[in-house]
Amino acid sequence: ETTVTKQLIRSVLLADATLRSRVGGVVAGHLRSTEAATLLQAKPLIILEATGGFVRYWSALQDVTIELYAYSKASSDEALDVYDQAFTILQEACCQAPNVPMRGITRELERPADGWNDQVGAWYARGRWTIKAIS
C-alpha cells in the first residue's frame, strides 16, 4: 500500500536523531493550512506526498513517486537546509524500519525547488523522489 511506503520513509527519517530533534514532525500528506501553521510555529516540518507510481510483478514490488516538502516559517534557507538533511539520509538508502512490512531503496529524481506557500504562510523546498519497495 502507498500508505505503508510513506510510513517506511517517515520511519527512516525519524530514526535519525539529528533530524528528529530539528523538525516538528514528518507528515504523510499535506495538512489544512491552520494545522500546518500551528505545527510550523516551533520547528520546520517535512511533508511526504505520493504523486504516482506503479506496481510490478505479483503486486509485491512497487515503484512510487513521492514529493518531499520541507517547510519553514523562518526562511527559505532553513527549508533548504532541512531538505538537505533529509537528502543525506534518503539518497540511495536501503530503507527498512521495525514494524513496517516493506523494504525499499530511495533516490532523488528532481532537485528541490524552493518558494513560498501563501496558504500555510511558510517557505518550502520540494524535491521529487522514487522508492522501489517490496513487501
pLDDT at 2 over 80: no
Q: What is the per-residue pLDDT across 43-98, written as a single tens digit (0 to 9) for each?
A: 999 999 999 888 776 777 889 999 999 999 999 999 999 999 999 999 999 999 99
State how far the Cα of 66 lies from the Cα of 45, in Å rounded to an integer: 16
Q: Residues 94-116: pLDDT tens digits? A: 999 998 989 999 999 999 999 99
Is the whole-model pTM more than 0.75? Answer: yes
- Report residue 95 as a C-alpha cell: 530503507
Distance of alpha carbon 114 from alpha carbon 123, whole angstroms: 7
Assigned C-alpha cell, 119: 496558504
> CA 108 to CA 105: how far, in whole Å?
10
Residue 37 has what pLDDT? 67
